[in-house]
Structure 1
Amino acid sequence: MNRFRTTFEALSVRNFRLFAGGQLLSVTCTWMMIVAQDWLVLSLSGDSGTALGLVTALQFTPVLLLTLYGGRLADRYDKRVLLICANAASGVLSLLLALAVLLPGAELWHVYLFALGLGTVNAVEVPARLSFVSEMVGAELLPNASALSAAYFNAARVVGPALAGLLISRFDTGPVIALNAVSYLATVLSLLAMRPGELHRGGAPQRATKVADGLAYVRSRPDLLLPMALVAVVGMFGFNFQLTLPLLAKTVFHADSAAFGLLASALAAGSLLAAFATTARRGRPSATLVVASAIAFGLLETLTAFAPTFTSALVLLAATGFATITFAQAANHRIQLGSDPRFRGRVMALYALILQGSTPVGALLLGWLAEHWGARSGLYVGGLVSLAAALAVLAVQLRRTDTGALPDEDTRPNRPGVPGHR
């Protein structure tokens, strides 16, 4: 009973409970939409890996260009209001795509425009959402709330793709995308129902925030720079499952949309187990844990690329999903819990930029590789590059240890000489 209470402790906070409920429904439908979007692109393009890579790139390029500015907005304005506006805009965009698909004559450029618009909204929504978690629950419950956020996100990844595969096979992609448009209301209503007076805001929002100050702050913190660098490489090459899985399903195992949903759900099931495993964390994870989980991820993704059967691919994807969230959560907690709250919006914006903004480059490269060298190449190249990056960071940490600079030092959130500090 005590273990159960500890696992779900952040849900005792009313504002977070409302947020998690709205997000669970909305994110489930978002994953349904992602499957529908990918299947639509493959149908319209004749199974082109390049077209799928381009859609992914268009969706994440605005993240690359605008997320740092989104972090500045998160530190300057009310995060709750920003999230309400962003989710309402995402709902409108999804509705427009649904109408384009439901009406005769849907074309690839409709999907391209939607991906670009959604990516622009995400550049504001992601840093606001990541930094808003601490406002809902406070610093003590932040690791638990972050782990539960990963849990509902991955629960949605289990249910959403599997359900989408069934719905697409029966109703096609249009109704699935329309359902996603309606689901954004759940998040908007949950945010409106919150009690602003119960948020842990730590003072009025800063009006003179600068992106450059946030970058200078991170640059002055080696304990933040190393996990950021590792996240950049793994995010660019390893986390392109939105591209690699539909190609693996359709061109290697010659599966239908329902089977593709099972592959995505297997990855999500492992991720969900990892999310629950990290709910007991109460402190900042070590640099060693971040690197070890990245090494495990690289190895497992490489093995998944060579899965001989559909069943073995399901098993290996589940293990890869576990390593994915173990690494992502360890890096997230190490960066977020080591950051000064005054810079947290900009720090998490940089984290989101590195994690998601690096995806366009990786998606285009892996899409080209998959088209010319087969779908498996996207997985084993991503896994091997991630493994090499983790080993390189490990070597840097060992070198710093040999010179007397411990890899876990420099964790104080307030240090003199950093812009904005006194």
Structure 2
Amino acid sequence: MTSPAPSRHPLRFRDFRAYLAGRFAAVLAQYSMMIVLGWQAYNVARETMSTSGAAAQLGLIGLAQFVPLFFLTPVSGWVADHFDRRMIVRITLLLLALSAGLLAVATWEGWVSLPLIFSIAAVVGIARAFNGPAYSALAPNLVPREVLPNAIAISSVVWQTGMIAGPALGGYAYAMEPWGAYALAAALFAVALVCMMLIGPVPQPPRDTTRHPIRQMVDGFAYVRTNRLVLATITLDLFAVLLAGATALLPIYARDILHVGSKGLGHLAAAPGIGAGITALYFSFRPMKKEVGLKMLGSVILFGLATILFGCTAFMPRSIAMEVGIAALIGLGSVDMISVYVRQSLIQLHTPDAMRGRVSSLSQLTISASNELGEAESGFLAALVGPIAAVIGGGIGAIVITLAWARLFPELRLARTFDPPDIREADISQEKSS
């Protein structure tokens, strides 16, 4: 992937700058709100429940967000390909801002409860089902095609940085003032909405009126299923992060294992963001160009190893456990950024614009499955076998899945660059027959 001339850099386009600023604010708000939801739900539950019972509530929080997104994914992708993507994003941002504002008021006045938290989590899941595909599919419409690869890379870096830095922001804000964490999220969603209002009209793919909408929704699944490189990148992230969900259990580690409280939770949540930010800064100057498939596989293996190391902090002396845990999470965030950078670039560059909304919705579904459903899996597993075994076992599982995917999908291992398709078909056929 070659960098465009400075005069044609994506950041020279006003609409794209507004898009990036708005998306960064929205992702920061979304993920800061999610970590606070988990922390608050865990603390409310601990007032009347044991550690295992409260851990199960973390699982329910993830499930409440994932279920609506799971059922709405086919519809939301089709909507993003057939209606004004700007308007979809604006409506969902308004809904998210109102949800965060309601939680701020409830926390301020002291009537926040588990049913309210679960209800808001479900609303967040519904909003994200429509917000994510529209946001992702909008980026390629804001810059000329010749600078699209760099625009996709920058957008992916901004999204991932906000996703990992957001929990740190939420943890620190909650430590200062619980209601303020939600108020900050509401303000960031409002900033994102203003940025989206600044974007002018964008080209919309021509609508297919010759076939039934349900058939068009199925097209997205069919495209991903037949494009093995896209399928490999999406499913690898799904299963690896689904298993290695250490960040979902940070509230348990902060309160009951490392005993560092909400301020310590902020430090732990900040650590992946530091690693992701350093890696994102590196990619902004030195974009990845060669052996992208092998680098993605290697990064997921390192992700599993970092997860195992973090889980083992429970057995370390208190004098070093927190420092080792932060270092492990910094490494986790760094290698996760590599994986996401490769996955998002391959998906966007291998997908036609008319189908980007539907493919992006499927990509978001796997991301949500690996995050929110991963939270549910980690919470329920922690309630069953304990949080330490859940984290360490998840890291081992991520490594096993990566080795299996390297064998099952030679397309990924042999992908040299982001340009489609830089794979030697003869080599793939030979490997399959061997």
The superposition leaves residues 342-365 of structure 1 with CA deviations (integer Å, 9 ceiling, x where unpaired) of 211111111111221354543333
> 1:9: Cα distance to partner?
3.4
Change (3 A) 1:149 1:368: same
Instruction: Show the counterpart of 1:36.
Output: 36
> 1:206: Cα distance to partner?
4.3
Instruction: Show the counterpart of 1:145.
Output: 151
User: Using the alignment, how far apart are the partners of 1:54 and 1:31 within structure 2?
Assistant: 17
> 1:284: Cα distance to partner?
9.0
User: Using the alignment, how far apart are the partners of 1:44 and 1:31 within structure 2?
Assistant: 20
User: Using the alignment, how far apart are the partners of 1:158 and 1:4 within structure 2?
Assistant: 28
The superposition leaves residues 92-149 of structure 1 with CA deviations (integer Å, 9 ceiling, x where unpaired) of 2222222222223321000000000110110000111111111122444344333333
Instruction: Show the counterpart of 2:22.
Output: 22
- For the pair 1:252 / 2:257, whether they are aligned, the reply is yes
Partners of 1:35 and 1:261 within 8 A in 2: no
> 1:65: Cα distance to partner?
1.6
User: Using the alignment, how far apart are the partners of 1:389 and 1:73 within structure 2?
Assistant: 33
Aligned amino acid, residue 194 of structure 1: I
User: Using the alignment, how far apart are the partners of 1:5 and 1:306 within structure 2?
Assistant: 47
Specify every segment of 5 or more residues in structure 1 that has no aligned partner in the other structure, as ranges: 414-422
Instruction: Show the counterpart of 1:305.
Output: 311
- For the pair 1:329 / 2:335, whether they are aligned, the reply is no
- For the pair 1:357 / 2:362, whether they are aligned, the reply is no
TM norm structure 1: 0.86
User: Using the alignment, how far apart are the partners of 1:242 and 1:306 within structure 2?
Assistant: 14
Q: Specify the SS of the correspondent of 2:142.
A: helix
User: Using the alignment, how far apart are the partners of 2:275 and 2:122 within structure 1?
Assistant: 30
Decide which of 268, 274, 277 is 1:272's aligned counterpart.
277
Instruction: Show the counterpart of 1:378.
Output: 390
> 1:285: Cα distance to partner?
6.7
Aligned amino acid, residue 130 of structure 1: S
User: Using the alignment, how far apart are the partners of 1:284 and 1:203 within structure 2?
Assistant: 32
Change (3 A) 1:395 1:296: same
User: Using the alignment, how far apart are the partners of 2:421 and 2:156 within structure 1?
Assistant: 26
Partners of 1:87 and 1:188 within 8 A in 2: yes
User: Using the alignment, how far apart are the partners of 1:138 and 1:299 within structure 2?
Assistant: 40
Instruction: Show the counterpart of 1:204.
Output: 206
Specify every segment of 5 or more residues in structure 2 that has no aligned partner in the other structure, as ranges: 423-434
Per mean C-alpha deviation after superposition, the further-off stretch among 215-224 and 305-314 is 215-224
User: Aligned runs of 1:119-138 on 2, under 5 Å?
Assistant: 119-138=125-144
- For the pair 1:193 / 2:198, whether they are aligned, the reply is yes
TM norm structure 2: 0.83
Per mean C-alpha deviation after superposition, the further-off stretch among 107-116 and 224-233 is 224-233
Instruction: Show the counterpart of 1:93.
Output: 99
Q: Specify the SS of the correspondent of 1:278.
A: helix
Change (3 A) 1:26 1:334: closer
Change (3 A) 1:138 1:292: farther
Per mean C-alpha deviation after superposition, the further-off stretch among 128-137 and 146-155 is 146-155
Decide which of 187, 212, 223 is 1:217's aligned counterpart.
223
Aligned amino acid, residue 75 of structure 2: Y
